[in-house]
Structure 1
Amino acid sequence: MDLAAERARVAGRIASLRREIEALAEEQAFTSHDDEHDPEGVTIAVQRAQLQGLLDVAEREHADLGRAAERVADGSYGVCVLCGRPIGTERLEALPATTTCITCASRPRRGRQLGPGPR
């Protein structure tokens, strides 16, 4: 997985979503603000909320990929933060910013402890 390329792809998605939100805000400025009687007003508000949610997810993904790049630089990329074992290649391909192996990710969250586990 090329983390830089993936991060650039996500940055492009962020820019696109921001443009869509700005365009929607401009559109909303030219329409009635009477949401109670304007069926389009509610639609625009819902669409804006959906776009904002997608933007929030993309920004978190971008930050996660940045932290993954830092782990590559310090040599800890691909090592589970919970058990210290290698994270499978397939998992890293699917989730390049993941910090846990599939075994640890499948465990219930309650009771997890950081650090290497038994080998």
Structure 2
Amino acid sequence: MAESLMRQWDGVVEAAASTANDDEHDPEGPTIAYEREQLQAMREHVRAELTDLDRAAQRLREGVYWTCEGCGGPIAAARLGARPTARTCIGCAGKAQTRYRS
């Protein structure tokens, strides 16, 4: 998927280079700008996912994959099954969500 996004990104950059730079008056300008922003966001998301997967693999190698980074307790198999990159148990994840909303 990352390689596909990179190819799409290269195509958008190439298309942008061959068009006018006046996005405000060029009917294709906003489309190219939108595609560029969308692909950039997707690339960042994929990079973050790859980083999370690398971190999960490291936690597995260290023997702490099943251990919550928040409380030190176990992370339920069902949680890791649904979200293999989870680093906290559901209780600590819920506490973190509450903090972000405040």
In structure 2, the residue matched to 1:46 is 34
Query: Larger % of helix: which?
Result: 2
Identity rate, percent: 46
- List per-residue Cα deviations over 1:57-98 (Å, max 9, x = no partner): 110110111011011001000211111111111211221111
RCO higher in structure (CA 8 A, sep ≥6): 1
In structure 1, the residue matched to 2:7 is 19
User: Post-superposition, which runs of at least 4 consecutive aligned residues in structure 1 deviate over 2 A?
Assistant: none
Whether 2:90 is the aligned partner of 1:84: answer no
In structure 1, the residue matched to 2:58 is 70
What is the one-letter code of the residue matched to 2:99? R
Q: d(CA) in 2 for partners of 1:65 and 1:73?
A: 12
What value does the CA root-mean-square deviation take over the aligned residues? 1.3
Whether 2:25 is the aligned partner of 1:37: answer yes
User: Which TM-score applies when normalising by structure 1?
Assistant: 0.76
Whether 2:14 is the aligned partner of 1:58: answer no
User: Which TM-score applies when normalising by structure 2?
Assistant: 0.88
Q: d(CA) in 2 for partners of 1:71 and 1:39?
A: 49
Unmatched 5+ residue regions in structure 1? 1-12, 111-119
1:89-100 superposed matches below 5 A: 89-100=77-88
3-state SS in 2 of match to 1:109: helix
